[in-house]
Amino acid sequence: MPINTILFLVQSPFSQRDYERFGLDILHENGFRVAVWDLTPCLRPQAFKNTVVPDPVDFNGLRLQKSKADVIAALRSLDRDTFIIAMIPLELQTLAIFREVSRRHIRYGLKTGRTVPDAKGVKIRSRLKDRLRTMCFETLANRLLHEIPLKWLRIEPAWILMYSGSEQPDQLTSKGQTPNNGRYVQIPSLDHDLFLKLDGEQTRLANEEPGICVFLDEYLPFHPDRHHLGIPPLTHPDDYFPVLCKLFAMIERDLGLEVVIAAHPRSNYENGPDYFDGRRIERGKTAELVRKGQFVITHASTSLAFAVLFAIPALFVTTDPLKKTINGAWIENFANAMGKKPYNLSRPYRIDWDQELVVD
C-alpha cells in the first residue's frame, strides 16, 4: 500500500524550529499529508508543564496527546496508508503505544537523535557516578526491556532505522530493534536543511558581520532534562558562568570581537540573573549567527555541525566539574575529532590564536 501520510511522534514540546528541522514543508511539497503528535503531556508531564516554547508554531497538523489512552484511541483511527516516524524510545511508558502500532500493522520508522561521538576514554569512575545518578526502578526496567526480543513484547520491528553519522548506531541494533530486511537509512542531521536554506540564500562572506564570535550555549547548569529526571546538574552556575565570562572578556579585549550567546533552544535566561554580564543573547538564530561569526566557542554542542558546514573555526572549552562527568568525555571526543584539545577554564591557560583560528 502506498504511503500518503507521514506522522511524527515526539516527546518534547513542538516548536517552529522543529517544524523547519523536520522538513515538513518539503514533505508537503512532495504530496504527503503531514501530522505531528506531541506526546509530551502524557510521557513527560513535568516537562510539558514547565517548558516555555520560545517559538510556538501555528500548524494545523499538530495535535497534543494528553494521555496514553488518547494516543491508543487515535492510533486505532489511523488509515493504513500512514507511516509513523517515532522520535520516542521504546520503554515502559511507550510499550503500549508500540504494541498498538504493531497490532494495527502500521509501518513505522525509528529515528535516533544521537549524532555525537561516543564518550570513549572517560574514566570508569566518572561514567559510573553519572550513571548511578540516573538509576531508579524505571531506568533499570527500561534497560532490561531493551534486552527482550521484540516478538516476546508483541512488537513488530521497525521498517526502517534512521541515523545520522558515519556508522550504523550500535545502540539501536543492540536493543533488539533491527529493522525489517535490515533497512538502515542514513540521513542528514536535523540541522542540515537549515544550513542548505541559509547557504542558498547567501554564501557566507568574510565581511558579513566580521565583529562577532559565537558561544554555542548548552544550558548546562539548568538543562531541563536533568531537572525533570531528578538528576543533579552537570555543574553549578557559580563554577561555570564566571570562568566563561572571563574568557569572553579576554576575547573582546584581545581580539576586538563581540561575543554573542547562541542560547540553547530550551533555555530561559530572561527570568534569571544576568549570567553573561550583559552580553547579547539570541535564541533560535544559531545557524545565522555561526555563519556570520569569526569562530565559535563550544563544549560538545551538536550545533557545532554549523561551524563545520560553514567552515568556521571552533574553540573547545571545558571546566574541572565538567571533566568529572560523561559530558567531559564528549567534549574531549568532539575536540579530538577536529584535531584539537579543549582548554580547561578552571585552570590557567594561554590560547594560541594563530593555531585555533585555522580551519583545516
Domain boundaries, the chain: 5-186, 192-356
What distance in Å separates the CA atoms of residue 65 and residue 58, rounded to the nearest whole number?
17
pLDDT, position 145 = 80
Reading the block at residue 173, the C-alpha cell is 541494533
Return per-residue pLDDT of the chain as tens, 360 residues.
799 999 999 998 898 888 988 889 999 999 999 999 999 999 988 778 777 777 889 899 999 999 999 999 999 999 989 999 999 988 889 999 999 999 999 999 988 755 555 555 545 445 555 555 555 666 777 778 878 888 888 999 899 888 876 665 554 544 555 555 558 888 877 677 677 777 655 554 444 556 999 999 999 998 766 665 566 778 999 999 999 999 999 999 999 999 999 999 888 898 889 999 999 999 888 999 999 999 999 999 989 989 998 999 999 999 999 998 888 999 999 999 899 999 999 999 999 999 999 887
What distance in Å separates the CA atoms of residue 53 and residue 219, rounded to the nearest whole number?
15
pLDDT, position 52 = 73
CB 75 within 8 A of CB 104: yes
pLDDT, position 34 = 97
pLDDT, position 111 = 80
What distance in Å separates the CA atoms of residue 320 and residue 345, rounded to the nearest whole number?
8
CB 295 within 8 A of CB 356: yes
pLDDT, position 48 = 82
Question: For residue 211, what is the DSSP state?
Answer: T
Per the rule left: phi > 0, alpha: psi between -120 and 50, beta: everything else, 212 is: beta
Mind giving me the DSSP string for 213-280? EEEE---GGG-HHHHHTTPPPSS-HHHHHHHHHHHHHHHHHHH--EEEEEE-TT--GGGS--TTTT--
CB 323 within 8 A of CB 333: no
Task: Give kind and range of the element (H or E) at residue 327.
Answer: helix 326-337
Pick the CATH number of 192-356 from 3.40.50, 3.30.310, 3.90.550, 3.40.1440: 3.40.50
Question: For residue 168, what is the DSSP state?
Answer: -
What distance in Å separates the CA atoms of residue 307 and residue 5, rounded to the nearest whole number?
34
Work out whether strand 314-318 and strand 296-298 pair parallel, antiparallel, or are unpaired.
parallel
Question: Which CATH architecture does the domain made up of 5-186 adopt?
Answer: 3-Layer(aba) Sandwich (3.40)
What distance in Å separates the CA atoms of residue 18 and residue 10, rounded to the nearest whole number?
10
pLDDT, position 297 = 98
pLDDT, position 130 = 54
Q: pTM of the predicted model, to two decimals?
A: 0.76
Q: Which long-range contacts (CB under 8 A, 24 or more apart) does 96-102 make?
A: 96/68, 96/72, 97/9, 97/39, 97/68, 97/71, 97/72, 98/153, 98/155, 99/153, 99/154, 99/155, 100/71, 100/72, 100/75, 100/76, 101/75, 101/156, 102/154, 102/155, 102/156
pLDDT, position 207 = 43
* 5-186 and 192-356, same CATH topology: yes
pLDDT, position 46 = 79
pLDDT, position 129 = 54
Give the up-direction half-sphere exposure of residue 242: CA atoms within 13 A in the CB hemisphere: 6
Per the rule left: phi > 0, alpha: psi between -120 and 50, beta: everything else, 354 is: alpha
- At 125-150, the pLDDT tens digits run 455 555 555 556 667 777 788 788 88
Mind giving me the DSSP string for 280-298? -EEES-HHHHHHH-S-EEE
